[in-house]
Amino acid sequence: MAAYEKRRAAAAPAPAAGSGLAEPARPAAGGLGSEADFLLRAGVTAMVREALLKVLEARPEEPVSFLADYFERLVLGSPGAAGEASAELPGPPQRLARALWYVRLAHHSHRTAFDSNAGAAYEVLGAGGRRRKAGVDGRLYSELLRRICQRGAAPAEAAAALLGRVRCRDHEAVPLPVFRYGVLACSVLLEFAAKADALFGVLGGGSGAADGRVCQAVLRALEEALGTGHGPRPGRFLEAGSRLGPDRLALAMDRALRERQRGSAMSREEFLRRATALFVARVKPIE
């Protein structure tokens, strides 16, 4: 105790002459260097640098949540926290959850980050034990796609139809390009459904139903826009749908409203079902 008091007295600042006030404490020489040395010795500098690199690599939509999850997994000792996606994980449920976490990190429009995260998810699902498989089997692949489609406004019929076009047989080994294509198709379906839902909100004025003739006209215009979106990736059809600008929508709605007789109402569910069916019909099936 005496030694502690002696050190405390030595560290206390001397009062200024005639002021009655204490001088502010001055940092010891080399203090900043000592702090930097401490961070280096504790491994904090390398840890933070690695975390920032992971954020830049994954490009998540919510970087703060990503970092919180990253450090939580790091503290809990999860092998995936350090980016070791190929490490052994205990059982299919854990591997599926980890793969799902990867594919949701970045938006599909961030091509490099999305493809990289899909590759990490593929490695996680392929790490089925001590003996590594050549690829992911169709059963795990289909289950992952089903879980992706569960999170969103896509109707169950559209999700089932899309899975029928991109799934593989349970016993088949799914190559990485096919895996990426299926994950991308499901991700784009969710966004397409969200955009269709927002479009119906405009048509219905926030209610649960809208004029059937107007909805029919908008769906026809949407079908024409999707017909121009030829390309190998499902995202091209979303880009084509985005080109359905306000001018084309206004023209289609005006054409429908010129008819004096009001058509029967169309529900939100019916509009979403028909709009997403247009998208699914243009996704190239996996052969």
Quick: pLDDT tens for 102-153: 898 888 888 888 998 999 899 989 875 444 445 799 999 999 999 999 988 8
Residues 6+ apart with CB under 8 A from 257: 211, 213, 214
Using the 8-state DSSP alphabet, how is residue 81 labeled? G
Distance CA 120, CA 100 (A): 10
Of 252 and 60, which is predicted with more confidence?
60
106 DSSP 8-state letter: B
- CA-wise closest residue to 215 among 269, 283, 162: 269
How far apart are alpha carbons 141 and 172 in whole angstroms?
Answer: 10
Are 160 and 145 in contact, with CB atoms under 8 Å apart? Answer: no
Q: What confidence tier does 37 reach under pLDDT thresholds 50, 70, 90?
A: confident
Whether the predicted pLDDT of 156 surpasses 70:
yes
Work out the average pLDDT over 39-48. Answer: 74
Per-residue pLDDT at 6 exceeds 50: no
Whether the Cβ atoms of residue 27 and residue 35 lie closer than 8 Å to each other: no
Q: Are strands 173-174 and 209-211 parallel, antiparallel or unpaired?
A: unpaired
Answering whether pTM is above 0.85, one says no
Residue 204 CA neighbour count, 13 Å, CB half: 21
145 closest CA partner among 116, 101, 187, 113? 187
